A and B are shown apart, each in its own frame.
Chain A
Amino acid sequence: AQSVTQLDSHVSVSEGTPVLLRCNYSSSYSPSLFWYVQHPNKGLQLLLKYTSAATLVKGINGFEAEFKKSETSFHLTKPSAHMSDAAEYFCVVKSNTGKLIFGQGTTLQVKP
């Protein structure tokens, strides 16, 4: 069975500093992995997806994530946080039946 664990429920950074949101997954086969972002009162938007073509995946708004099979991790990073990055972020693994399995979410706070 597939599962995903987001290691931090809340992350706070200062504007202009790096962002790291951690995600570990469990999968019995090569997984499909995604990061989604949800801004307040907005729908879920796809940030990036792991396609197995490259372990470092670039997404929108300067975010990227690195797939590390040995560590079963898919952490989301951004070199420099912006105030507009404040949102909730979800790491997602896709099962072999097509179901999307969500982590509990990480709330990112960006301080001026």
Chain B
Amino acid sequence: DVKVTQSSRYLVKRTGEKVFLECVQDMDHENMFWYRQDPGLGLRLIYFSYDVKMKEKGDIPEGYSVSREKKERFSLILESASTNQTSMYLCASSLLSTGALGEAFFGQGTRLTVV
């Protein structure tokens, strides 16, 4: 079974803190994604990566950065956390495929609260 593991289920951070969310997948997938999920807005793509050290901005990259130093690990960084970044964060991975075979597998999510 594919496993996508996010390092924390729940996090509480203070405004202005630098926050790291970690994601690891064990299936040698090329693509990795970070989404945030908010009620009524569905999942919105923050960043994605299709290879080591490669990254592309998604729809809402402002206030975030990412790091992919190894194929299996994709980190999301909040440089200076703000209360409007309180959300559920989901990591996903998939094969480098443009077809339906490239389905994505998701982690359990990290619920981040910024106070």
- A25 within 8 Å of B by Cβ? no
Chain B positions within 8 Å of A101 at CB level: 45
Chain B positions within 8 Å of A105 at CB level: 40, 42
A-side binding surface: helix, strand, loop or mixed?
A: strand
Chain B positions within 8 Å of A45 at CB level: 106
- A20 within 8 Å of B by Cβ? no
Contact A98 B96 (CB under 8 A): yes
Contact A98 B41 (CB under 8 A): no
Contact B45 A100 (CB under 8 A): yes
Instruction: Give chain A interface residues in 91-112, CB to chain B under 8 Å.
Output: 94, 96-105
Contact A34 B50 (CB under 8 A): no
Please report A residues at the B interface, Cβ cutoff 8 Å. Answer: 6, 9, 32-34, 36, 42-46, 49-52, 90, 94, 96-105
